[in-house]
Chain A
Amino acid sequence: MKKAYVKPKTLKEAHFHYCPGCGHGIINRLLMEVIDEMGLREKAICVAPAGCGMLLYNYFDIDTLESAHGRGAAVATGIKRVRPDNLVFSYQGDGDLAAIGTAEGFHAANRGEPISIIFVNNGVYGMTGGQMAPTTLKQQVTTTTPLGRNPILAGHPVRICEVFSMLDGTSYLERVAVNKPAAVIKTKKAIKKAFQCQLDGKGFSLVEILSPCPTNWKMGTIEACRWIDEVMAKQFPIGVVKEIS
Chain B
Amino acid sequence: MKKLMSGNAALGEAAVLSGCTCYFGYPITPQNELTEYMAKRMGELGRVFIQSESEIAAINMVLGASVAGARAMTSSSSPGMSLKQEGISYLAADELPAVIVDMVRGGPGMGNISPAQSDYLQATRGGGHGDYKTIVLAPGSVQELTDVVPLAFDLADKYRNPVVILGDGMLGQMMEPVSFDDIKPPKEYPKDYILTGAKGRPARMVRSLLFDTKEEEEHNWKLVRKYQRMESSEVRYETYLTDDAEMIVVAYGIGARIVRGAIKRLRQENLKVGMIRPITVWPFPAAAIQEMAKTVHDFFVFEMCAGQMIEDVRLALAGKGHIHFYGRPGGIIPTPIELYRIIARHYYTAARRKK
Contacts and interface: CB of A to CB of B under 8 A. Distances in A.
| Direct touch of chains A and B (CB < 8 A) | yes
B198 A63 contact: yes
Contact of B63 (A43, A67, A103): A67
Given A66-B208, A77-B64, A104-B53, A71 B87 contact: yes
Contacts of B268: none
Interface in B48-75: 48, 50, 52-54, 56-58, 60-70, 72
A45 interface: yes
A1 B196 CA distance: 39
B20 to A, nearest CB: 12
Given A74-B57, A75-B63, A66 B206 contact: yes
Contacts, number: 132
Interface string B175-211: 0000000000000000000011111100111111100
B63 A78 contact: yes
A65 to B, nearest CB: 5
Nearest to B49: A81
A64 interface: yes
A215 interface: no
Contacts of A82: 21-22, 48, 64-65, 68-70
Nearest to A12: B203
B64 A78 contact: yes
B252 interface: no
Contact of B195 (A54, A63, A104): A63
A60 B203 contact: yes
B24 interface: yes
A63 B57 contact: no
A79 B195 contact: yes
B199 A42 contact: yes
Contacts of A79: 64-65, 67-68, 195
A47 B94 CA distance: 14
A43 B205 CA distance: 14
Interface in A86-129: 86-87, 103-104, 106-107, 111
Contact of A103 (B50, B54, B62, B65): B54
B90 interface: yes
B67 A61 contact: no
B86 interface: yes
Contacts of A47: 64
A107 B22 contact: no
A48 interface: yes
Nearest to A63: B195
A52 interface: no
Given A62-B198, A62-B203, A81-B22, A68 B67 contact: no
Contact of B60 (A60, A64, A67): A67
Nearest to B64: A78
Interface in B8-35: 21-22, 24
A107 B56 CA distance: 12
A65 B195 contact: yes
A57 interface: yes
B60 A75 contact: yes
**Of B66, B87, B203, B204, most A-chain CB atoms within 10 Å:** B203
A44 interface: yes
A83 interface: yes
A159 interface: no
A38 B60 CA distance: 29
A75 B203 CA distance: 18
Interface in A196-223: none
Given A54-B209, A64-B203, A82-B22, A74 B61 contact: yes
A76 interface: yes
A61 B207 contact: no
Interface string A34-64: 0000000111110110000010010011111
Given A68-B90, A82-B69, A77 B50 contact: yes
Contact of B65 (A54, A78, A111): A78
B48 A81 contact: yes
A161 B58 CA distance: 24
B203 A63 contact: yes
B186 to A, nearest CB: 16
Given A54-B209, A64-B205, A103-B54, A75 B61 contact: yes
A67 B66 CA distance: 13
Instruction: Please list the 4 inter-chain residue pairs (A to B) with the smallest Cβ-Cβ separation, ordered nearest first.
Output: A78-B64, A66-B207, A42-B199, A74-B60
28 contacts: A42-B200, A43-B197, A45-B197, A54-B209, A60-B203, A62-B197, A63-B196, A63-B197, A63-B203, A64-B206, A65-B64, A65-B67, A65-B94, A65-B195, A66-B209, A68-B60, A74-B52, A74-B56, A77-B50, A78-B61, A78-B62, A79-B195, A81-B22, A81-B50, A81-B61, A81-B64, A104-B57, A106-B53
Given A78-B24, A78-B68, 10 more contacts: A44-B197, A62-B198, A74-B61, A75-B64, A78-B60, A79-B67, A81-B61, A82-B21, A83-B197, A86-B196
Interface of A: 41-45, 47-48, 54, 57, 60-68, 71, 74-83, 86-87, 103-104, 106-107, 111
